[in-house]
Structure 1
Amino acid sequence: MSRLRSGAGRANVWLPGLLAFALPLSTSAVSAVALLILLLWLIEGNFLLKLAETLFTPVAATVLGYLALLCLGLLWTANPADGLSVLQSHWKIALLPVFLTAVRHERRAFYLSCFIAGMSAAMLLTFLVWLGLVQYADVSPAHLTPKTFHVVYNPLLAFAIYLTLHKAVWEEPRRRARAGLFALAGLMSVNMFMTEGRTGQAAFFVLLSLFLLQVFGRKRVRAVLLLCLLLPAGIAAGYVASPVFQQRVDLALSEASGFHDNPNTSVGLRLQFCQNALALIRQQPCLGVGTGDFKAAYGLVNQQRSPHCVSTDNPHNQYLLSAALLGLPGLLILLLVFFLMLRQARSEQEDSLCRARFAFPLFFAVIMLAESYLKVYQTAFLFALMTAVLYKKKPLPQAEGRSWLILSYRANIPGSACSQHLDDRLPHLQAQGIEPVLLTGPAGLAHPTWRHFRTVSLAPSGLRFELRHYLRRRLRHRWQFKLVETLLLLPVLPFYLLEKIVVNLESEWSWGLLASLRGLLLCRQLRPELVYSTGGSASAHVAGLLIKRWTGIRWIAETQDPLVHDQGWRRSRLALLLYTNLERRICQQADLFVFLVGAALEHCRQRTGGGRLAVVYPGAEPSWFGQQELYSKGGRCSFAHFGSLSGTRNLAVFFQALEQVVSGRPELRGRAQVDVYGSFDSLSEREMQRLRLHDLVRVHGPVPREEAIARMQQADCLLLVQNIIYFSCETIPSKVYEYLLTGRPILGLLHNNKELAAMLRDSGHRATPADDVQATAAAIAAILDDWAADKLTAAMAVDRPWTVEAAVRKLICLSEGCSSCA
């Protein structure tokens, strides 16, 4: 069976070339080859991998989105049968995922050459007819293509001419071969004006203009001047030399000028279709008439506006058809396809076919003004096949040495503790000979140093969260942010509310679904040593679990905060059920489950029975600290708090203790000062005002991390406050390790966290219960007295192995199965 599947895959590498050759020659051959490709594609299997490649090729994913919108349009159509007929007419472009995953990047030149060869054969046939050597059916020297085939033939010929010129200039190094290609392009150009397709002739001039611009590169002025000379000259020469071209141009001008008197002509009807379709779109601009209602709706408009003209089910314009069927969303997603094509062409300019990637969307954008070419048989196949060939992504090169695929929703986000936890480790992984490959959400910027892949969420809550992050980076003024946010998110609001009613989980819960597919694709291409899921979001572990199941690759899961805690659960029952099940599956299937706190590990072991569990203290980066010269004693003793304040993590108890101290010993009021860096919650602010401590408190707001670290080293005493909830016994805030490496004294208000309390006290710092005002007051008074007596010395915590480098070394040691590291 495996031999059959691999053989099917090998055969499918070559069949797209046969399909490209048959496109201008035989619809029967095209159908037969397309169905054979589909059959072999199904036999080959690997559907998850193929799905991943399709979804993470933006152009292909957007085309599927357009087809999905057509399917949704059946919901508001009054003629389901006609709607199904419309869907059936789009089956050719639905084969795009099949072609995309069948073709090979290294065979792209072969596929394009096959298309040029097929077009050359079709052209040769027209020359034989023109010479009178071949005559069949309705083909004659006066009419070189069957019936209305010129509507398809000339656009195909125009694109083939561009590809031939492209191959001659940028792909073929041999002089004779280049001369032959130029001669072939010239012969095709002559043939263009011997045949009748006006749309293809217009596309020819547009593509020829683009070609000249690309040849001259940055010499745009020279290229424009040459175009101004050559383009009118070429049109004039064609008009004079070709009776067919002259007759078609004169006829078009005559029919256009006489449109108001006689619209029942080829050009006149198209103009009338355009006017009526625009009127239909104005009536229902939001969602359109539905996938199956264009014919009936157009008939009503036609009866009102132009009863003397024939009705139609096709406005002969792909843009108008899409907008009429699906409203503004349909038109936008169609334009988005072209935008993504151009963006990929611009972002991959080192690719040998990048110029053709610019030409292809321009070509289709032009011809679709004159016909709904995504429905026409040959051009729909051309669109699907050439999109697959031109926008197939190059396989990623494998790392030269060891590499880890790191799954984390957050990365490279300033101010995010979850992001900083990972960002700090990346250089140390590299130093240990492991190349980090990042797969993250889109909230953070692309990392300039490491290979970084980003994936969006699927659910409305995730898309809302990610869009807000993007807008905050782009829009500086709050009113701009709110306006754009409202306009963009208003259509998503009903779905967001429905999601929160049905599935009330964290915003990024759905990210793991797409991340797992992207991770599968990266595992197959990059062959990493293992998958490492971290970053605080449970969705990263969902992705790691699925990748582990699909590939069997080694998997390390690291939870920064426990997925489940035994008391005080504040989320929904559904969330508790899902996270409990996820935690159990991680224990069963992960090769290593890492915790940042020993208590969290023990509680997990009690709930699940355990697995291969370990504790790795994350630490901080020593190179940022140790600059004792930053500290100098000031006029007041500064208690500095860094980070966010919310809920039960607030300064109320500290303020009450401070007020008790300064009330009992008024002389201490002149010694104390509280500096708050980060958020300042309303409860803390109210308590400050109630106790009249506002003259002792300075609120600095959020500051960059580098500045925060410098301010830490300048403080007299660093303040640490935990939430007064059960959850606090299982966590150690990441800033604790930064506090420890500053060497400054620390006052920790902790809640049932023996591990953290021992860590502080063993290092010479103070720890009090977070809800004990008396103990906190005693600690504050002692600190103020020591400060006044110059006895408030820096603690020596730098000897502790709480560094990022130590954490990374231990993590690598554990990943290699070393029992002494556990």
Structure 2
Amino acid sequence: MQQPEQQPIQKKHWLILSHGFNMDGRAASQTITDKIPYFLEAGVKPMVFSSITGIQDQHIAHRQFLAWGPAAFRFDFRHWVANQYGRGWFYKLTTRSVSFLLVPFIALEKLFLGYSSQWSWAMPAYVHGLKEIRNNNVDLIYSTGGAWSAHLAALWLKKKTGLPWIAEIHDPLVIRKSPQDQGFDKPINRDARFRQYLEKQLCKYADLVWWFTDGAVHYAKVRNPNLNEPGNTVAMMVIPGAMPPLQQTKEEKNVEKHSTEEQSADKQSAEKIVQAHQYSNKLHLCHFGSLAKDRSLSTILKAVNHLTQHHPKARGQIQIHAYGAPLDELSKDAINECSQNGIDDLLIAHGRLEKDSLTGKSGRERVMQAMQAADVLILLHGTDEWCAEYIPSKFYEYLWTGRPIWALSHRNPQLDAMLEERGAYISHAESEAEVNRALERIWLDWRNQQLIEPKWMPIGVDQAAQCILDKVHDINQIHSLVMNR
């Protein structure tokens, strides 16, 4: 994807706070790691602070810190051991021992605070960040999450030092319950109350803050009318996008690749991969990502039951593959129902794809290969009200595969518009009839080998990075004018 001409940047030393940086296959990691090459090309000199849950980057300044709270320590320690020694007997022995020792301290932490586990990572991030700032090694603070501890540390640093602060909000901090709920009510849950407070602080003290959907920006402005007012925090929407699959492969192998020619070659190669898809004797519907009660494959499984009742030939011709997460309880119940109706081997749960020690392929590479082998990619949006402010990050990876998408969306016109523009099967998740009709159409299209061929309109990371760089350039000019007065 061709990059726009870069703007010169005055303040080049960025402190990037990202709790889950370089965690293989994690959306909270990929959202920032994929932007790093574009920032480097623009002249930014990043210093990344993260937890120890990911792999330490050897090509940029990257420091990893243990969280200071017991719950976060347990979480981080588990990932660190898995990265270093795998998930064999040593992992089970050490993590269980540490968990046992930490149980009373975690109980006290939950009793007195009640925050999500990663909150305490903000403390080492703040202490070490303040030291770097006082040593004149930082011009700008960039918090991204994922875990809101990065934003909390950035808030403390902003208040202490006054440096420019930009913040990237992945998921809404305030979770609304209904279309009528604007997010003003005081939550009962202590973590939710703190996230509500943190959003207000972000919108008051950050120089620039952005969300990933129009809906998220809209509701944040409703709660924080000061946004985009003269002299106040600038708020915007940035579509995160995703890396092309071949570029992902090279990035995972730590090969620097920034030239426009190479990115164009990647896109052409990706198109060739799309054209190579072959139909088989089964319709393979593949889902990637987390599953939950509000985002369950049970809806699809019930639709298969309905389809086979009207089209007996479909029995045994459909196979659903789930990657990336354990099955939710609703999906398990639906599988049992299918089995009672004589539909066996319908769902295969592959779990999380991680680095393959035999082939050397990263989890992210393996996921992309599985995506490209699918007949249709399932995009479960969810059924909660917050779907109006959220688009699954997998959507942008799906676009690079060129495979048809079947989206079960909920109250998000922005997502629906992007799907319709590119060509997709779309159902509204709350309508059982729509889901049943969509599956019937997909099965008939597959039998005729005429599945939708989506328009080749992927969304790269370059556009997101450039949007941020342009806004930071404006912020730096404003700060320079203030400093010179």
Query: TM-score under structure 2 normalisation?
Result: 0.81
Q: Does 1:422 align with 2:32?
A: yes
> CA separation in 1, counterparts of 2:87 and 2:27?
25
> CA separation in 1, counterparts of 2:204 and 2:411?
30
Instruction: Select the residue among 483, 488, 493 that pairs with 2:103.
Output: 493
> CA separation in 1, counterparts of 2:433 and 2:169?
35
The structure having more radius of gyration, on CA atoms, is: 1
- Which residue is equivalent to 1:803? 460
- Which residue is equivalent to 1:697? 347
1:228-248 CA-to-partner distances (Å, cap 9, x unmatched) read xxxxxxxxxxxxxxxxxxxxx
- Which residue is equivalent to 1:80? none
- What displacement does 1:548 show? 1.3
> CA separation in 1, counterparts of 2:144 and 2:368?
24
Instruction: Select the residue among 229, 242, 246 that pairs with 1:620.
Output: 242
Does structure 1 conserve the Cα–Cα contact (< 8 Å) formed by 2:74 and 2:98? no
> CA separation in 2, counterparts of 1:441 and 1:808?
23
Q: Does 1:668 align with 2:314?
A: yes
- Which residue is equivalent to 1:688? 335
Instruction: Select the residue among 558, 580, 583 that pairs with 2:196.
Output: 580
Letter in 1 for 2:392: P
- What displacement does 1:594 show? 0.6
1:238-292 CA-to-partner distances (Å, cap 9, x unmatched) read xxxxxxxxxxxxxxxxxxxxxxxxxxxxxxxxxxxxxxxxxxxxxxxxxxxxxxx
- What displacement does 1:772 show? 2.0
Instruction: Select the residue among 518, 530, 544 that pairs with 2:140.
Output: 530
- What displacement does 1:528 show? 3.1
Does structure 1 conserve the Cα–Cα contact (< 8 Å) formed by 2:52 and 2:77? no
- Which residue is equivalent to 2:371? 712
> CA separation in 2, counterparts of 1:808 and 1:416?
19
> CA separation in 2, counterparts of 1:518 and 1:403?
15
Does structure 2 conserve the Cα–Cα contact (< 8 Å) formed by 1:531 and 1:554? yes
> CA separation in 2, counterparts of 1:623 and 1:487?
39
1:625-673 CA-to-partner distances (Å, cap 9, x unmatched) read 4322441111222111111212321111111112111211112234422
Change (3 A) 1:706 1:571: farther
> CA separation in 1, counterparts of 2:131 and 2:276?
49
Change (3 A) 1:623 1:467: closer
Change (3 A) 1:779 1:477: closer
- Which residue is equivalent to 2:392? 733
| Aligned length in residues | 418
Q: Compare the two structures and name the one with the higher helix fraction.
A: 1
> CA separation in 2, counterparts of 1:490 and 1:700?
29
1:578-620 CA-to-partner distances (Å, cap 9, x unmatched) read 2222111111111111101110111111112142110000001
> CA separation in 2, counterparts of 1:698 and 1:623?
24
Does structure 2 conserve the Cα–Cα contact (< 8 Å) formed by 1:653 and 1:771? no
> CA separation in 2, counterparts of 1:817 and 1:593?
14
Query: TM-score under structure 1 normalisation?
Result: 0.49
Letter in 2 for 1:809: Q
Deviates more, 1:539-548 or 1:784-793: 784-793
- What displacement does 1:526 show? 5.0
- What displacement does 1:477 show? 5.3
Instruction: Select the residue among 208, 212, 217 that pairs with 1:596.
Output: 212
1:663-690 CA-to-partner distances (Å, cap 9, x unmatched) read 1111223442222222233321221121
Alignment of 1:373-452 (within 5 A): 402-452=12-62
- What displacement does 1:400 show? 12
- What displacement does 1:536 show? 1.0
> CA separation in 2, counterparts of 1:550 and 1:716?
53
Q: Does 1:812 align with 2:469?
A: yes
Instruction: Select the residue among 305, 313, 316 that pairs with 1:659.
Output: 305
> CA separation in 2, counterparts of 1:643 and 1:541?
25
> CA separation in 1, counterparts of 2:400 and 2:83?
32
Change (3 A) 1:630 1:642: farther
1:88-113 CA-to-partner distances (Å, cap 9, x unmatched) read xxxxxxxxxxxxxxxxxxxxxxxxxx
> CA separation in 1, counterparts of 2:456 and 2:225?
35
> CA separation in 1, counterparts of 2:156 and 2:463?
30
1:723-759 CA-to-partner distances (Å, cap 9, x unmatched) read 2211222111111001112111111111222221121
Change (3 A) 1:433 1:539: same
Letter in 2 for 1:636: K
Letter in 2 for 1:656: K
- Which residue is equivalent to 1:609? 225
Does structure 2 conserve the Cα–Cα contact (< 8 Å) formed by 1:458 and 1:511? yes
> CA separation in 1, counterparts of 2:461 and 2:58?
21
- What displacement does 1:479 show? 4.7
Does structure 1 conserve the Cα–Cα contact (< 8 Å) formed by 2:245 and 2:400? no
> CA separation in 1, counterparts of 2:59 and 2:244?
21
Q: What RMSD in Å do the two structures reach over aligned CA positions?
A: 2.3
> CA separation in 2, counterparts of 1:401 and 1:530?
7
1:157-201 CA-to-partner distances (Å, cap 9, x unmatched) read xxxxxxxxxxxxxxxxxxxxxxxxxxxxxxxxxxxxxxxxxxxxx
Instruction: Select the residue among 401, 410, 416 that pairs with 1:751.
Output: 410
> CA separation in 2, counterparts of 1:581 and 1:699?
39
- Segments of 5+ residues of structure 1 without an aligned counterpart are 1-398
Change (3 A) 1:610 1:803: farther
SS of 2:38 mapped into structure 1: helix
> CA separation in 1, counterparts of 2:136 and 2:65?
17
Change (3 A) 1:782 1:486: closer
- Which residue is equivalent to 2:5? none
- What displacement does 1:806 show? 0.9
Q: Compare the two structures and name the one with the higher strand fraction.
A: 2
Does structure 1 conserve the Cα–Cα contact (< 8 Å) formed by 2:295 and 2:382? yes
> CA separation in 1, counterparts of 2:245 and 2:466?
17
Letter in 2 for 1:420: Q
- What displacement does 1:572 show? 4.8
1:91-143 CA-to-partner distances (Å, cap 9, x unmatched) read xxxxxxxxxxxxxxxxxxxxxxxxxxxxxxxxxxxxxxxxxxxxxxxxxxxxx
SS of 1:747 mapped into structure 2: strand
Does structure 2 conserve the Cα–Cα contact (< 8 Å) formed by 1:401 and 1:435? no
Instruction: Select the residue among 472, 477, 483 that pairs with 2:93.
Output: 483
- What displacement does 1:453 show? 1.1
Does structure 2 conserve the Cα–Cα contact (< 8 Å) formed by 1:408 and 1:439? yes
- Which residue is equivalent to 1:773? 432
- What displacement does 1:407 show? 0.5
SS of 1:446 mapped into structure 2: coil
Change (3 A) 1:696 1:493: closer
- Which residue is equivalent to 1:46? none
Letter in 2 for 1:785: L
1:304-340 CA-to-partner distances (Å, cap 9, x unmatched) read xxxxxxxxxxxxxxxxxxxxxxxxxxxxxxxxxxxxx
Q: Which of the pair has the greater relative contact order for Cα pairs under 8 Å at 6+ separation?
A: 2
